[in-house]
Amino acid sequence: MVVGAGPAGGSAALAAARAGLRTVLLEEHPTVGSPAHCTGKLSVHGFAEFGVPQALVRSALRAAALYGPDGAVARVRREAVDSYVVDRDAFDRWLAETAAAAGAEVVTGVRARRLARLDGRIVVEGERRGQPFRAEAGVVVDAEGARALLPATLGVRPRRVLIHGLQYEMEGLHLDAEDMPELYFGRQWAPGFFAWIMPLGGRAGRVGVCVDPRLTRRPPLYYLERLLRDHPVVARRASGARVVRKLAGRIPILGGRRPSFAPGLLVVGDAAGHVKATSGGGIYFSLVAGRLAADAAARALGGDQAAYRAYERAWLRRFGREVRFTVGVRRMLNALPDADLARLIAAIARNPLLQRAIEEHGDTQYQSRLLRPVAVQVLRSWRDLPLAARALRALARGLLEGDRDVASDPAGPGREGLSAAAEHAWP
């Protein structure tokens, strides 16, 4: 039984059904894929590995523009497409429909509340359309998302920090290029993360912001409206544009959390912290984790009780290093003052060899591959050495810090703010 029909849950249900397991996919909303929460950015690796149809693509991305707190901008452009923006509503439905075609049963309108053990099986309890819901399974894959409730009912409490996000899908934007997302840094615009414009084709795009509630008491709604009104670039881009949809959500950062399993339970995707802390992206890692969880479920149902721990080792081998690296970079970025962050972006803008290293070696899915070539170019530029030393010290601290700054789903400043933002965001 898979709980949650997002990318992780859909991938797990599809792989389990194809493996011949009797599979049920539960989704709490009446329709799979709605409401959508994220920008839908998926790397080319996801398309190559999981056969995602091109019909789901809204835009192809091969460039990026990084705006510093002082307004300076660095642009990089790759020869080949790096990522696509998919229609998340349709993407989730495609996964669920493909799983159903493979034999999985898809049940919507189910809000799972708790798990319990009974005679070696897992009991799922909750509600379906106002009525009590109860079902049993040999293995449950939890793919609830960032605010997962079920693992704790079996004693699994992976720790996490949740950042709060809000974005407006807009039409009539004035963009420089349809293949170039724009990222805006600075504590006054997005404390603890960044703001963005994600092109969706034509003059459409998603303008959004994420904030870390440990660093501000203001909700993301405050920062997004301020961005649209006061940012010298974003305000110009959005002049005359209209909002067609609002999306809100939380993203778990600071690394994949362990344990991600218990006997009879496998935790995948956002629920397990399978997210890049630098960007908040996690669709590809969720697809991979879902497939690995289905393989582990098949082995466990065949009597291999070591399959649960093997699942955790498998996802750590596939992308654990990448998750940890992005945690270090996120901590580094949050530790740098805005003045140093501005110098960092200016260093990229003025150094063509550094830009070329990023363009040739950059991979938004595997960001750690940039460390060596970027370090080599920085070491060749005496102007950037003092800044590089500070940044590397901050990165080292971020990688070695461990979890001492991570609280269990903190209810600190900003939690009420997201509720306010969501009240404005949802139709």
Neighbours of 386 (CB within 10 A): 11
Strand partners, 137: 122
Same domain, 170 and 204: yes
pTM of structure:
0.88
CATH of the domain at 304: 3.50.50.60
Host H or E run for residue 94: helix 88-101
Would you list the DSSP string of 351-401? -HHHHHHHHHH--SSSGGGGHHHHHHHHHT-GGGHHHHHHHHHHHHHHHH-
Same domain, 267 and 216: no
Residue 34 has a pLDDT of: 86
| pLDDT beyond 90 at 366 | no
In a domain, 82, yes or no: no
Q: 3-class SS at 109?
A: coil
Average pLDDT over residues 162-185: 96
Same domain, 91 and 33: yes
In a domain, 81, yes or no: no
In a domain, 110, yes or no: yes
Same domain, 232 and 374: no
| pLDDT beyond 60 at 382 | no
Task: Tell me how far apart the alpha carbons of residues 398 and 230 are, in angstroms, rounded to a whole number.
Answer: 32
Same domain, 106 and 8: yes
Listed residues 291, 319, 347: the one ending a domain: 319
Q: What sign results for the dihedral spanned by CA atoms 215, 219, 220, 226?
A: negative
Same domain, 30 and 127: yes
In a domain, 28, yes or no: yes
Q: Spell out the residues 6+ positions from residue 62 whose beta carbon is closer than 8 angstroms to its own.
A: 77, 78, 79, 80, 81, 82, 179, 180
Task: Tell me how far apart the alpha carbons of residues 175 and 394 are, in angstroms, rounded to a whole number.
Answer: 34
Domain that holds residue 244: 166-253+408-425
Same domain, 32 and 117: yes
Residue 422 has a pLDDT of: 32
Same domain, 24 and 173: no
Same domain, 347 and 378: yes
- C-beta pairs of 231-236 under 8 Å, 24+ apart in sequence: 231/184, 231/189, 231/195, 232/71, 233/67, 233/71, 233/73, 233/182, 233/184, 234/184, 234/195, 234/197, 234/207, 236/174
> Which pLDDT tens digit goes with each residue over 292-333?
999 999 999 999 999 999 999 999 999 998 998 888 888 888
Same domain, 170 and 196: yes
Q: 3-class SS at 61?
A: strand
Q: 3-class SS at 243?
A: strand
In a domain, 64, yes or no: no
Overall domain count for the chain: 3
| pLDDT beyond 80 at 371 | no
Bond prior to 259 in cis (omega within 30° of 0): yes
| pLDDT beyond 50 at 410 | no
Same domain, 19 and 150: yes
Higher pLDDT, 79 or 412: 79
Listed residues 270, 292, 319: the one ending a domain: 319
Same domain, 201 and 146: no
